[in-house]
Amino acid sequence: MRLALETATDRASVALGASAMGVFECELMGARRHAAALLPMVDDLLRQAGATLDDVTALVLSDGPGSFTGLRVGASVAKALVQARGLPLWTAPSLMVRAAGVAGPGATVLAVADALRGELYAAVYRFDGHEVCTLFAPSVCRPEALAGSGPRPDLLVGEAPEPAVGMLERWAGSALIRPPAGAPHARTLLSLVDRPGGAMRVETVHRWEPAYGRPAEAQALWETAHGRPLPHSVGSPS
């Protein structure tokens, strides 16, 4: 069985199974609860399934962009399990997980999340049969630039400030699918492992870091105040 961890947002989820069908899953709301709750969630899920860590054959993790703290918590737990148990690790962008959770066959989906500072994390995916095609890789965008470029998607999914939501909905001609349906879910991560263009195997786990999308807000504020980047800064500056 595969164990999936989704910690990119304030809605953490853990799933256990061989695919998106017939899985055990549990969720927890509250970004500040991830660090204390993630391992107990895994233990509870294993008990529900009548399984142990010996039954887990692989880990699947949401790879951002998203909450800096949430992604760090998920990455730390995943790396610890990989080192302790010798398990393979697969990752998929959190925006792809959102899109895959709502997409029908042949659908083009624009997935968004709030990147703060008036910007959005955004990516566009098309789901052709079993294959996932990345049409626009996860990036940081201004809402007005996003709404004025590229073909209109069939579906909008995610979360964003209300002015941006209105702009995107008018452009796309469809309503934003918001959480909980529009959140990334661990059960969807499981289904992306075997799909071409979906989750990717991490070969050198000890060197891998989540795709934060941009620095943590505290780091950005420090760098703005001091006019220079922090040494060994984490994240992709905008």
Please state whether beta strands 58-62 and 2-6 pair in parallel, antiparallel, or not at all (unpaired).
parallel
78-83 CB contacts, 8 Å cutoff, 24+ apart: 78/5, 78/205, 79/205, 79/206, 79/208, 81/3, 81/53, 81/56, 82/205, 83/205, 83/206
Nearest CA among 66, 113, 98, 65 for reference residue 184 = 98
Query: Mean pLDDT in the chain?
Result: 89
Residue 238 confidence class, pLDDT cut points 50, 70, 90 = very low
Tell me the sheet residues that pair with 113.
121
> Which has the minimum average pLDDT: 77-91, 132-146, 223-237?
223-237
Q: Output the pTM of the full model.
A: 0.89
What single DSSP character describes residue 65? Answer: S
Say yes or no to pLDDT of 235 above 70.
no
Higher pLDDT, 200 or 222: 200
pLDDT at residue number 217: 57
What's the confidence (pLDDT) of residue 190?
94
Contact 189, 60 (CB under 8 A): yes
Domains and CATH numbers, the chain: 2-94+184-226 (3.30.420.40), 103-177 (3.30.420.40)
3-state secondary structure of 165: helix
* Percent of the chain residues past pLDDT 70, beyond the cut: 89
